[in-house]
A and B are shown apart, each in its own frame.
Chain A
Amino acid sequence: MSRNKILSALLLVLLSFTYTGCDDPPDEETATFVLDMKAMVNDSAFVLGQTYQNAQDYKFNIETLRFYLSNLILTGADGSEVEVKDVDFLNFENNHSTSQSKGEQVTGTIPAGAYTSLRFAIGVDSTRNSDDPAQYPSSHPLSIYNGSHWNWNTGYIFLKIEGSIDSTANGSGNFGNSFLYHTGTNPLYHEIQFSDDFTVAPAETFEYKMKLDVNRFFYNDSDTLDAVNDNFTHTTGTFRIAERVTDFFSGAFSKR
């Protein structure tokens, strides 16, 4: 082959790269994975601002429910790990002002195939937690536009739950007490794992439906939060409350 031909062949190869650009090559073996996260009270869709009665018989409502969900990773049947999404911001004010079937969705592309488990974290990991939120475009989950960042002690607010609660059990629902739980800081980054076998077909949009049980925000099997008195945390200074809220919240997820 002459040098001209070699160069021409090289040019063709390079041109083909140029035409395909820098995108990932199309792959018919991929699928879309959707984590559909629905906040619920008992078996009904949770509605922001609506009065509920918690397991301790206190009437309450929730006006703000937002959290960072990060490192959503699936484990394949062959042991491989697939990242669905690095970080997303779930704001339940978007879809829960009225009762509806869908929840907040976290979407990513995965290889089709068999999977055995799913895991994700509440919060953002320590690497991202020190990021400057002003460097992200306003549409990015980590942007300052999401208003979930502490500016005086650099870091993201992993979880925001705000609302009101009655002062007595079985009360009249005359909410005199507000509660505000803002959790964050690296020690409260919390991973949750679910073992579950499922298979995703090529080109399928696979919805993995999860429930976030709002009642479980206030208790777990061994501990109950007194939201009337332990009603406030910005994590710093009231770390124990933030730690307990994180524990309760982490236990509020289940498959639906």
Chain B
Amino acid sequence: MGNQTALGFLVIALLAAGCHKDPPLSSDAPYELNLPAGFSMPSIPANNELTVKRVELGKLLFFDTALSVDSTVSCASCHHQQFAFSDNKALSLGVNNAVGFRNAPSLGNIAYHTSFFRDGGVPTLEQQTLAPIEDENEMAFSVPGVVERMKINPDYVALSKIAYDREPDAFVLTRALAAYQRTLITGNSRFDKYYYQNDVSALNESEKRGFQLFTSEKTNCSVCHAGIDFSDYSFRNIGLYEMYADTGRKRITQLDEDYGKFKVPSLRNVELTAPYMYNGSVTTLESAIEHFNSGGKENQYKDALVQPLSLTTDEKQDLLNFLKSLTDVSFIENEEFAP
């Protein structure tokens, strides 16, 4: 190599070195989401791409009661896999049996949500994880407190280093919890086999009629319960009350027009996620169908789509059967999601 060439390479090398540090090599491997037919890749933040160790760390945290002040409550205390990561109580109990503010939603397909909490007050899943830890009716602890506990746990220290190349801190805690929850994808129900996997025999005739009714202009159910997750994640006032004690999204936006509006829930695994509504006030799926059949209670901000439906007994039964076909047994039995 001539002097000129060597000098040239040195110049290029210095230019390339610049002021940036290359990220250290990680021994972690990408985590491949197992997407059912019809599912697109969810949007994942650039600084929290899924990796095997990030998900493993998040799962450890999700099932760890050390996240609560008295080490009695974990995320899984209110988000049970058997109930599609929701709770079977109207309002879950936190530390010292404190009563939660709203019904714990299912975490199935949470990776696709565009905002978090029933009122959409939080824009990212990472930020969402802060709230239950610090809510006095849930874990009643503090993020710095959890981080201190992580720092004295060798497993957390080792996983944090591999997964995020740093000691446990608030960043690691929130990123890992979000990473694990993004893997909770559900889309292998009998309905999916029928609709997305071309198995026409997967649904019986009543379920098929229920699906037709669900998507018909007679019910307008699928206007809001739309798409792959049976939710457009919009906020709607469905006429649950004439006067709402909990003003819903208005609490976030301060806008009158958002009075009594709550995020449209996914209907996947809806058979498993009773009780229903933002406060768990509707105990059965039959009652939920009856609510929409009745057209709800009148209030100024009730959605125009919620109107009396005059469904026959058979039609209600068909709808019920269709909704039950959205149960994904493989989701609640998937050992990859379990501790």
Contacts and interface: CB of A to CB of B under 8 A. Distances in A.
Interface of A: 3-4, 7-8, 10-11, 14-15, 18, 21-22, 130, 132-135, 137-138, 143-145, 147, 149, 151-154, 185, 236-237, 239
Nearest to A235: B254
Contact of A11 (B14, B126, B131, B169): B14
Contacts of A11: 7, 10-11, 14
Interface string B95-132: 00000000000000000000001010111101100110
B121 A4 contact: no
B14 A134 contact: no
A3 B4 CA distance: 8
B151 to A, nearest CB: 12
Nearest to B132: A151
Contacts of B304: none
Interface size bucket, B side? 35 or more
Contacts of A147: 142
A33 to B, nearest CB: 27
Given A132-B124, A153-B251, A7 B142 contact: no
Contact of B134 (A4, A7, A151, A237): A151
A14 B143 contact: no
Nearest to B170: A134
29 contacts: A7-B8, A10-B11, A11-B11, A14-B11, A14-B14, A14-B15, A18-B17, A130-B123, A132-B126, A132-B174, A133-B130, A134-B126, A134-B130, A134-B170, A134-B173, A135-B47, A144-B144, A144-B170, A145-B170, A147-B142, A149-B130, A151-B127, A151-B134, A152-B122, A152-B131, A153-B119, A153-B122, A154-B121, A154-B123
Interface of B: 3-4, 7-8, 10-11, 14-15, 17, 19, 47, 117, 119, 121-124, 126-127, 130-131, 134-135, 142-144, 169-171, 173-175, 251-252, 254
B258 to A, nearest CB: 12
Nearest to A22: B19
Contacts of A144: 130, 143-144, 170
A90 to B, nearest CB: 20
A18 B17 CA distance: 9
Given A8-B7, A144-B170, A147-B142, A236 B254 contact: yes
Contacts of B14: 11, 14-15, 18
Contacts of A239: 254
Nearest to A137: B169
A219 to B, nearest CB: 25
Contact of B170 (A3, A143, A237): A143
A134 B127 contact: yes
A151 B135 contact: yes
Contacts of B254: 185, 236, 239
